[in-house]
Amino acid sequence: MHFQPICDDCKRSVGLEEMTCIKCSGKISFSYDKKIPIFDNSIKGLSRFWSRLPLVNPEQRVSLGEGGTPLIKFSLSGFSNLYIKNEMGNPTGSHKDRQLSIAISHAITLKKKVSVLASAGSTGLANSAYAARAGIKSLVFTGSSARSDRVYPIHL
């Protein structure tokens, strides 16, 4: 495996399924094999960073074609080299597509059947799209103030 989950606090190696360290409750980070180059320029989009993604099987990543969104040169007085990343070019129009691609891919590795989260809109939208692509259920909890074009309410 090209990465190892470790606890930020006690530096203990942890399992893939752990959300926090079971020894000290510390947050989890990842240590990557630094002998592998960061970029794989033979691949487009997010997958070109496979060596720095915490995925057991990067080639089986759940994808809708996210990443590769354009950089747009922006003119602003005093800033001669300013670019803005246009994340609306992602499949769901959300800046959350990359993160949910990784999260749902990890869920599939752990053989999970449902992805559940709370969202104000964009995260839930991306979660639903990537879960559908992966063939698992998505359950999103949101407040009543969420944008109506981002939710399909089900009254329980």
Q: How far apart are CA 60 and CA 110, in angstroms?
A: 13
Question: Model-level pTM?
Answer: 0.87
Judge residue 51's burial from the number of C-beta atoms within 10 Å of its C-beta, 0-12 exposed, 13-18 middle, 19 or more buried.
middle
How does pLDDT run across 125-140, given as a tens digit for each residue? Answer: 999 999 999 999 999 9
Residue-level pLDDT at 44: 85
How long, in residues, is the chain? 156
Which region among 26-30, 85-89, 108-112 has the lowest average model confidence (pLDDT)?
85-89
Give the DSSP letter of residue 5.
E
How does pLDDT run across 68-103, given as a tens digit for each residue? Answer: 899 999 988 888 899 999 999 999 999 999 999 999
Helices (H) and strands (E) in the chain, counts: 2, 6
Contact 130, 62 (CB under 8 A): yes
Domains located in the chain, CATH noted? 57-150 (3.40.50)
Q: Which two tokens stand for residue 108?
A: 């599939």
